[in-house]
Amino acid sequence: MSQSPVAAISVRGLRAGYGASSILHGVDLDVAAGEFIAILGSSGCGKTTLLRTIAGFHPLTDGSISLFGRDVAGLPPEKRDMAMVFQSYALWPHMTVAGNMGYGLKLRGWSASAIAAKIDSLLSLLGLEGLGERKVTQLSGGQRQRVALGRALAIDPKLLLLDEPLSNLDAKVRLSLRYELKTLQKTLGFAAIHVTHDREEAMTMADRIIIMDKGRIAQIGTPEDVYDHPVSPFIARFMGADNQLPLCFMQKDGVAHVRIEGLEDHVLRWHGRPYEGTKTGYINEEAISLVEPDTDTNQSIILKGHISSRAYPGGQYRYSIACGPYHFSATSDHLFAEGEPVELRLPLNRLHIFDTQTA
């Protein structure tokens, strides 16, 4: 019988805080070798504290941290075989690119020739050829972040920790480095944990996403799992399902129906999974269509409304649509005028339904 592979990083019952304030409340987490994990959450949810505690920059109050089966919870950061890339880059301003990237190797007693050879390979890998002797203060933001990444990779870490490393960059550079970092991680095969506040960044880079809330993991899964199957109203809203609809499920002549609260004439036959009583439905704007409804509306809720506002962020128009007492946001390629009547189609299979009292 084959044994399960040892996790790159295994965290059990992790608790940490600041003074009398507890921040992490018993976090359990496994990251596989070569896996890219993204941690999302609101400010103050504990995602950076989790990262810093794993790295050894913040003490834990309880729990365990193992790296490939080796207990590292009691070790200082430099003994954990991990490296961290910070949001602020944390580069030495008086040093050159090569000096910054080779600093950790120098502390580990590498020879000058071995350091030079390692730095040359990293400069090539990171697209920084010819910049080794340049001061980091003379570099662009994107180049500085590559230097910070090179410094982390120089020690061949078993785990790379990334604390919002792209948030200080402009949009174009951020998109480019997002792709480069993911490609680099797959090429070199290291495990990575990436803290970010950018949902799209997490969705496009991570193998699995962790959503944290109040010092606990609220959900963990692939980007598709977390987006398509949120386990709570909090997760649904966090993943962009900001459109809400109060629903009342009932039996009418032995057949399931749903009434949309506040739109008393909207009593529809229900063809989705069975529910009873009052619920709240959540749906992402990209799931809503502003087109003529199909002749068969069994798989959708159709609402009549009118355009209350319009914006054009690029690519598609973004609309706010008034339907009785409710307002929905939706996107469309079609240009509608403000005040123009429209019909919304809300597919039942894209509607996340939860008990109203938990919403």
Q: Which helix (H) or strand (E) holds 200?
A: helix 199-205
In a domain, 256, yes or no: yes
**Are 128 and 150 spatial neighbours (Cβ–Cβ below 8 Å)?**
yes
In a domain, 164, yes or no: no
Q: Is the pLDDT of residue 206 over 80?
A: yes
In a domain, 341, yes or no: yes
Name the domain count of the chain: 1
Q: Region 141-160: what's the mean pLDDT?
A: 90
Q: What is the pLDDT of residue 1?
A: 46
Nearest residue to 82 via CA among 43, 41, 114, 51: 51
Q: Which domain does 318 fall in, by range? A: 247-358
DSSP string, 35-93: -EEEEEE-TTSSHHHHHHHHHTSS--SEEEEEETTEE-TTS-GGGTTEEEE-TT----T
76-109, pLDDT tens digit by residue? Answer: 998 999 999 987 778 889 999 999 999 889 888 8
Question: b/e map of 309-337 (b: 16 or more CB within 10 Å)?
Answer: ebeeeeeebbbbbebeebebbbbbeeebe
In a domain, 271, yes or no: yes
300-328, pLDDT tens digit by residue? Answer: 888 889 999 999 998 899 999 999 889 99
Q: The whole model's pTM is what?
A: 0.88
In a domain, 254, yes or no: yes
> How do 243-252 and 191-195 pair as beta strands?
unpaired
Q: Is the pLDDT of residue 174 over 50?
A: yes
We report the CATH number of the domain holding residue 261 as 2.40.50.100
In a domain, 229, yes or no: no
In a domain, 119, yes or no: no
The Cα–Cα gap between 44 and 38 comes to: 16
In a domain, 278, yes or no: yes
